[in-house]
Structure 1
Amino acid sequence: MESQTQQPVRGPRESFDRAAAIARRYGHTDAADVAEALLNAKFKAGTVVVVGEIKRGKSSLVNALVGQRDLLPVDVMTSTSAPIRVTVNPVEEGPAEPQVAVLRGSKRQAIAASDLDKYVTIDGIAGARAGSDDDELATAAAVELAYSELAGTLVVDTPGVGGLDEHAVHAAFNEAHHAGVLLMVCDASTPITKPEMDILAEARKEVGAAIVAVTKTDKNIRRWQSIVEDNKRLLRQHLGAEIPVIGVSSLRAMDAQEMERVNPEKAAEIASRSGIVALRQHLRSLLSDPATLGLRGGIESITHTLKGIHTQIGRDIAIHTSPADGVGKLEEEREELERLKEHASEWEQLLGRDIQFMRNRIMDDLDTEIEQVRNSWIQRINSDGVRVLRSKPQVFTSQIEAELTELINTTLNTQLEELRKLATPLFPDQPDIVNTVIGAAVDSITPEEVKGREVDKKTKDLLDPSLATMGMLGAGVLSFMIPLAPLAGAVWIGVNVGFKALRNGKQHLISWLREITQTTRVTINRMLDTMLAAARTEMVLRYRAYLRQRQKEVQEHIKEAHEAARASEAERKETITRLTKNAKIVEATIEELNHHLATMHAPQGELS
């Protein structure tokens, strides 16, 4: 390596390439490849979860946001009854026409976009099920389309349940996965209500940000602006927060969309007046740039590698500066590694004990949480009555499925973090090994259809091994995976049996609730055991390999120290000068990378 007298100005990608070249020159090819894969990985920009009371125009607003007038069902007498998740891709990557599927636990059925209302609206469900004994209804729908204005975003339309009851809101928060924007939809007929403000207050703890959209401004031309100002004042007064409030006419926004080809200038004017342009701009400003997420992850990864190289160079300088001292310290390190190797079997027993204690703590907490879920729903059954729940069975099922799935998700993530705490002290300064252990735990419950080659492109990117290695597997990935996992399928099948219990009366429903919560506990218990077995095996094998590798490295360093001791004073000085120059180059590159990281926006959580 050669030193440079003046540091050139480089962009983040150029700095990364320089750092990767240094890493490869020092033999860290695998680390450089992983960092580059992370840098090039494609991430979704974020999640926009749309909530609001019944008949506030949520579905119409989603259609306007993604530029599709008739995509989500509107103009029906009753509301959306299950979550609809709309994945928005860049034009060059997305399908030519929207692709729609309904989800039934682990099953995914493609349908025509025009048939969506038959599966996810209360009227459609009632019509399709008239006289039917079929107990298997969709609990969500997935739509994929291409639209440049919100590319890289997941927009979720949630069921509107009168009064924004707590279970509907909780289900909506589960959709956000603590990483997106909550879009509260009010309308221009009245100022924001207290229940809506309560939801916003809670949302600020659960999601990245919140926006209020005042819809149907075209139906209240004279008053909508004053309603917007009233809403801002009420939010400041009751929440002490400056939450954006934007008036929107979904009808005018779609008129502008359809006029764009004929008269682009006129279309742009109408779109601007409709409020949809301002709303999209706010959403984009609140959601992370997907390209930045990958770039940031890659830079953080290669920076860690360079720090290890810098430490290695410093050790080499110390050896050549004082060979005798260097040999002594290295001999002590070799003896310590020998002692660790001799006590490996005892360590493995202690590890097994610690893992068992950890599992018991997690299961104790899970039992408490399951009891809370069960009691909460029994109270709802007693207060609402079976008749009310029968009138909206798909809403009921979607909500309880969301809570049980979130319970699985939260518990498994707790275990992943506990495993990380166990693994980290074993592999100091080796986060790639720690994350490989975590990746093995996640991989153990990943169904084969997710691992296979024929899986959807975005799924493949999400579960890319390089992301597992760099510890990018977290809540977002598990939330995606759990509905597909074979073990979790048992929970979904049990949830669907709830339809039959609804028809058979209150006691049947309460008995079913006890059974499904117990099924959830058994399912989680099995998944915990599967993950622990995989993580423990990976941890033991990696630790043995780590000790062998460290012994090999120490032995090589001892050899180098002896050679340095035999070298002449002039030779040692020449080597120290060369190493010092290299250390400065590596240090300057680290500073350059840190500067780029400091200027980037921090990512707002793990993405789905």
Structure 2
Amino acid sequence: MKEVDGRVESGSVGVRLDPDLRTAAVAARRLLVEHGFEEIADRGWSQMRSRCPTPAVVVIGEVNRGKSSLVNALLESPEVSPVGVDLTTSAYLRFVRAGDELSAGDARLIFAGRSVRRVNAEEVAAWITEDGAHVQDSEVDMLPLGAEIAVDAAILRHVQLVDTPGSGGLDTRHARLALEAVGAASVLLLVCDSAAPLTSTELRFLEEASREVDSILLVANKIDKNPRHWRLVVEEDRRLLARYAPRFAGSEVWGVSARYAATALSQTSGERRDALLRLSGVPALAEHLVRHAIAPDVGVAKGLRILYSGLRELDAHVTANRRAASGHPSMHKELIAQREHLQRCREREGQWREYLQRDLSILQSDMADSLERKLDRLQSDWRAKIEASHLEVMRRSRQLFVAEMTADIEVLMGELSVEFSTGLNRVVESLFDIFPGVDIADEMPDFSDLPIRAADVKGRGQGLGDPQMVMMGFMGSSAFGPALATALGMAAASAASLGIGAAAGGVWVAVNLAFRAVKNGKSALLEWLTKTSNAVRIDVTRYIARKVNEIRPTLASAYRSRLQEAIAESKSLLASAEQAARRSQQERAETVAEWDAISASIARGMDELEAQLARLSSSAQTKPDSSKSGSSSQK
């Protein structure tokens, strides 16, 4: 990481480290290092300097709301995102800043197994639209799950834009997959109608989306078609939000015209062009999106919190030593009681291990029950969809069935990963209650090393599981596991600590088997679904058992290590207390004063870090003046 004009570059987004913030962080780190807390000091400083992914604005909306037209207007390009045709129900378009990795006008098609094909951006539509040449080609078995397109647009210097699938209307699954595909989504932008209030579908979507996303912005498009009354519609939208989606009652509703913006962008520079752009409201919306999406650097804020936590630990250490140095008789008694308690904990370590075995066994059983429920629901939902679909539709759009089933399996895996990690944290918090702050992030499950076995469909799908397919699948598992999760965007979990590279190899095999199975009719596809679900059940169960067996000795070792450290510190404090009791009152006072000086430095450091964290949080919540909103610009 490097500094440019006082700004620390973090991923594609720089976060300004002003002198006050830098001074506070450096002082806290120096204080920790001086008193033997190098590990947490280095961890906090490293986190502050870690790369932060570019935040994303994910655009979603009902059919015919002008969603893709708005994306093109924000990108200042009229034809980058396909308009007037539907995307496949699984494919997303991610627009990123052109650079060394991908030049402007170039694109990457992302397939299952994380295989990537570079194409010209103009070729993308043929691969991802329902009427695209490759989609309609019966000889093409594998279609991309998404595409990444490089564009030289001003807004992409700060955020990435994601255009969600267009067919099928609003679907919370579209939003969830798109949000998690980018791994750093900051804003979900819902494009609605400026001529009519929010529909029941949109309100239901907002209610469901409130469980998936933190920030939603509503944009009423096509205000040019309702110039007199669109503001009344927006006011009604606000009332509906307050009644049916109260969490987003305070969300801003912007009025824009993507058509005005497109017309302006087609003209040469001049006053008329600028006036039409202002009238469209799109530039003001783009400015707001950048401000709203770019929250304080997550790495910087997290690093400050780690340093703050370190100062709290140091403060507890200093307080204990100060009390020991005071030579007060009560302190001596407390330290003896603490030492005896720790010794009893060591003597009962065998019993503690039994508790660990019990709690991990309960967690393993709970995970098995959750897996069974999720698989039953997945199979039931997909059986209904398959049975309700005409064979000709399935053949014409087979990639839609297969990609969505693959996505659902990945979502299931990600949900299990979150549940498993949450359960492990509960076990640790319960059993390590005398040693708060135990970090087991490295032991958190991510399912990335789980190669789900693909089902070998028989009968009408005879020969689908040929050795070459299986071998390619396992190659995919080792090479593309973590990356596929990013492409598909499954599961709401922190990528840094949990990850979701769910069985890429097995899923890749399953995808190919399903493409072939769907050509052989519903029965073959249903059989594939059943057998693949059974394979998931067996392999995930084995994986969880293996993970539990791996983490049990790790936790036991961590407990013993923490216990030994606590006993050693207790002995040291007791020795200090006994030594202080033999010193003169003046000597004790001088030693206490030294500890007080250190404590005062710690308090000042914690106050400074608190102030910086509050300032970062405040800047994230600051909204632009209402005079800059798209709504106001229409007056």
Aligned CA distance change for structure 1 residues 516 and 56 (closer, same or farther; 3 Å): farther
Question: Could you tell me how far apart the structure 2 residues matched to 1:78 and 1:391 are?
Answer: 15
1:97 paired to 2:97: no
User: What residue in structure 2 maps to residue 511 of structure 1?
Assistant: 527
Q: Structure 1: how far apart are the matches of 2:257 and 2:315?
A: 58
Alignment of 1:502-581 (within 5 A): 502-581=518-597
1:114-133 aligned at under 5 Å gives the runs: 114-124=122-132, 127=134, 130-132=137-139
Aligned to 1:197: 203
Q: Whole-Å Cα distance in 1 between the matches of residues 409 and 324 of structure 2?
A: 58
Q: After superposition, where does 1:136-147 map in structure 2 within 5 Å?
A: 136-143=142-149, 147=153
CA distance in 1, matches of 2:310, 2:250: 42
Length, aligned pairs only: 562
* Equivalent AA in structure 2 for residue 562 of structure 1: E
CA contact (8 A) 2:442 2:497 kept: no
Whole-angstrom CA distance in 1 between matches of 2:322 and 2:306 = 25
- Aligned 8 A contact 1:105 1:489 in 2: no
1:49 aligns to what?
A: 58
- Secondary structure class of the residue paired with 2:553: helix
Contact 2:56-2:159 within 8 A present in 1 as well: yes
Paired residue type of 1:105: A
Change (3 A) 1:69 1:14: farther
Is 1:439–2:442 an aligned residue pair?
A: yes
Q: CA RMSD in A?
A: 3.7
For structure 2, the residue ranges without an aligned partner over 5 or more in a row are 1-17, 244-248, 451-474, 621-635
Aligned match for 1:183, one of 183, 189, 214: 189
Rate the CA distance shift 1:225–1:545 in 2: closer, same or farther, 3 A.
farther
User: Equivalent of 1:331, from 317, 322, 336?
Assistant: 336
Shift of 1:144: 5.2
Residue 477, structure 1, aligned to residue 484, structure 2: no
Deviation, 1:228, is 5.3
1:314/1:583 contact within 8 Å kept = yes
| Shift, 1:450, TM fit | 12
**Identity rate of aligned residues, in percent?**
25
Measured after TM superposition, the shift of residue 413 of structure 1 is 0.6
Structure richer in helix, relative to its length = 1
Q: Corresponding residue for 1:298?
A: 303
AA aligned to 2:108 is A
Q: 1:541 to 1:129 in 2, by over 3 A?
A: farther
Superposition pairs of residues 80-479 of structure 1, within 5 angstroms: 80-86=88-94, 88=96, 96-97=103-104, 100-112=107-119, 113-124=121-132, 127=134, 130-132=137-139, 134-143=140-149, 147-164=153-170, 168-177=171-180, 180-186=186-192, 192-216=198-222, 221-224=224-227, 226-227=229-230, 229-237=232-240, 240=243, 241=249, 243-253=251-261, 263=269, 268-291=274-297, 293-322=298-327, 324-428=329-433, 433-434=438-439, 437-442=440-445, 445=448, 475-477=493-495
| Structure 1 segments unaligned to the other structure (5+ residues) | 1-8, 460-472
Could you state the TM-score of these two structures normalised by the residue count of structure 2?
Answer: 0.78
Amino acid at match of 2:87: S
Measured against aligned partners, the alpha-carbon deviations of 1:341-391 in whole angstroms (never above 9, x if no partner) come to 333344334312311210111220221122122212222233344444444
Assess, with a 3 A threshold, how the Cα gap between structure 1 residues 282 and 225 changes in structure 2: closer, same or farther: farther
Residues 410 and 258 of structure 1: is their aligned pair in 2 closer, same or farther, counting only changes over 3 Å? same
Shift of 1:451: 11
Q: Compute the displacement of 1:43 (Å).
A: 2.5
Decide whether aligned partners of structure 1 residues 136 and 528 sit closer, same or farther in structure 2, where only a CA change above 3 A counts.
farther
- 1:271 and 1:277 in contact (8 A); partners too: yes
Cα deviation per residue 1:16-47 (whole Å; 9 max; x = unaligned)?
Answer: 22111111111111111111111122323644
Q: How does 1:26-41 map to 2 (within 5 A)?
A: 26-41=35-50
User: Separation in 2 of the partners of 1:257 and 1:501?
Assistant: 47
Q: What letter corresponds to residue 17 of structure 1 in structure 2?
A: V
Q: Is residue 505 of structure 2 the alignment partner of residue 489 of structure 1?
A: yes
Distance 1:202 1:50 in 2: 16
Q: CA deviation at 1:406?
A: 1.6
Q: Contact 1:85/1:154 (CA < 8 Å) preserved in 2?
A: no
TM-score of the pair, normalised by structure 1: 0.81
Partners of 1:265 and 1:548 in 2: how far apart?
Answer: 75
**CA 1:449–1:382 in structure 2 vs 1: closer, same or farther (change >3 Å)?**
closer
Moved more, 100-109 or 360-369: 100-109
1:300 deviates by: 1.2
How much has 1:14 moved relative to structure 2? 1.9
- Distance verdict in 2 for CA 1:296–1:344, change over 3 Å: same
CA pair 105-323 structure 1, distance change in 2 beyond 3 A: farther
Tell me, what secondary structure is at the counterpart of 2:58?
Answer: strand
SS class of match (1:212)? strand
Letter in 2 for 1:367: E
**Residue 196 to residue 320, structure 1, CA distance change in 2 (3 Å):** closer
| Equivalent AA in structure 2 for residue 560 of structure 1 | S
Shift in alpha-carbon separation, 1:144–1:552, aligned structure 2, 3 A: farther
TM-aligned CA distance change 1:215 to 1:209, over 3 Å: same
| Counterparts in 2 of 1:451 and 1:502: CA distance versus 1, 3 Å | closer
